[in-house]
Amino acid sequence: MPTRSVQHPNVAVYDHPLIQHKLTILREKSTRHEQFRTLLNQISGLMAYEVSRRLAVREKPVETPVAHTMGTELAEPTTIVPILRAGLAMMDGLLALFPEARVAHIGIYRDEKTAKPVTYYAKMPVDIARGPAIVVDPMLATGGSAIHAVELLREKGVRDIQLVCLVAAPEGIRAMHAAHPDVMIHVASIDERLNERFYIVPGLGDAGDRIFGTQ
């Protein structure tokens, strides 16, 4: 079970020993991109078990080889929403747990003049508002991209939204809480701070570059 942050009540911290072990390897600058991708998906899958605990269910009649009984099925379609590009590396870990989930994609960049997030790509199921959405991005730094992604989902009528990250800066957590206090944030670590370049300290470096080997 994750623990709730005392300072940030909207954050669940996944302090499981196996997750923390894998996160430590991720942080190491010598970790190569292929291992980085693998570990990121593994951690996402380990977190997915608890993230999915909140999903609504309903009863379903089922016939076993022996008798009729009542079982349980997910009541609503779940949509996983990776923020491009780094969020793609977390998608398979979540889909491995519940492959019936749909996938939406949101691409966001920050305008250098205005410093505001700009959507360059958004593809979602037409009925995405029917069920919950799980937004995934390895890092929550300033919170700008994640906040913008949640706003796009709100515009589509989605009401049940969770955010899954590996590491988060306190600045990003506070920004998300101020903008969307009902969004639960799931993280493997709350790190110290942002530096002058808005990188998370100690963080992971540039997660996108490390995932795809472009650094």
Are 108 and 55 in contact, with CB atoms under 8 Å apart? Answer: no
Are 152 and 122 in contact, with CB atoms under 8 Å apart? Answer: yes
Task: Catalytic residue, from 15, 127, 182, 206: name it.
Answer: 206
Are 152 and 121 in contact, with CB atoms under 8 Å apart? Answer: no
Task: Catalytic residue, from 110, 130, 154, 174: name it.
Answer: 110
Distance in angstroms (rounded) separating the CA atoms of residues 108 and 133: 17
137 is known as an active-site residue? no
Contacts of 119 (CB under 8 A, 6+ apart): 106, 107, 108, 148, 152
Beta bridge partners of 133: 79, 161
209 is known as an active-site residue? yes
Return the closest-CA partner of residue 188 out of 91, 112, 98, 90. Answer: 90
Distance in angstroms (rounded) separating the CA atoms of residues 135 and 106: 9
206 is known as an active-site residue? yes
110 is known as an active-site residue? yes
The whole-angstrom distance between residue 31's C-alpha and the CA centroid of its chain comes to: 22
Are 191 and 200 in contact, with CB atoms under 8 Å apart? Answer: yes
For 46, the enclosing helix (H) or strand (E) is: helix 33-51
Catalytic residues: 110, 114, 206, 209
